[in-house]
Amino acid sequence: MKIEPVLYGERKVYTVSAFNRGVALYLGRLPTIWVEGEVLELKRNAAWATVFLTLKDPRTGATLKATIGRGAYDRLDLGLEEGETVHVQGRAELYEARGELGLRATAIERIGLGEHLLALERLKRRLAGEGLFARERKRPLP
């Protein structure tokens, strides 16, 4: 597809498709980078060729969609869980049909528990310290 504007007098006007294509081509020239985020969502299915992740910056709430090929993800053998903090290596890409910015991942490294999982673990330890999980406190189901 050519990225050429339609001329309306002095004004150059691009179609949405042409604009998205131009942005995608520009993003394709950017270098590979590392991004740190908390796994907010992880979608994989045996029938899909791609694993979909949503990464979140816990400090600002900003999110970024990321994808990685299922074979590459399986070779990493990470067993990622939502809430874990990861470093993701990849390239910026634009899904042209919807104009959505994302990261095409080539590598993922687990860094540790995310903010939410750490808070949950602290809460569990505190409640256990108060004896709230003790067997003698459990009630029979009705």
Q: Mean pLDDT in runs of 10 for the chain (142 residues)?
A: 85 94 95 96 89 95 96 91 93 96 96 71 81 82 83
Residue 125: predicted pLDDT: 82
Residue 45: predicted pLDDT: 81
CB atoms within 10 A of CB 20: 20
Residue 54: predicted pLDDT: 98
* pTM of the shown model: 0.74
DSSP code at position 135: G
CB atoms within 10 A of CB 134: 9
Residue 131: predicted pLDDT: 82
Which structure tokens are listed for 70? Answer: 């299922």
Residue 135: predicted pLDDT: 83
| Nearest to 117, CA basis, from 80, 81, 83, 78 | 83
Residue with structure tokens 């816990």?
Answer: 58
Query: Is the CB of residue 78 less than 8 Å from the CB of residue 88?
Result: no
Domain 31-114 matching CATH 2.40.50.140: the answer reads yes
Residue 5: predicted pLDDT: 87
Residue 115: predicted pLDDT: 66
Buried/exposed code over 28-50 (b: 16+ C-beta within 10 A; e: otherwise): eeeeeeebebbbbebeeeeeeee
37 alpha carbon, distance to own chain's centre: 8
- Largest interatomic CA distance in the chain: 83
140 - beta bridge partners? none
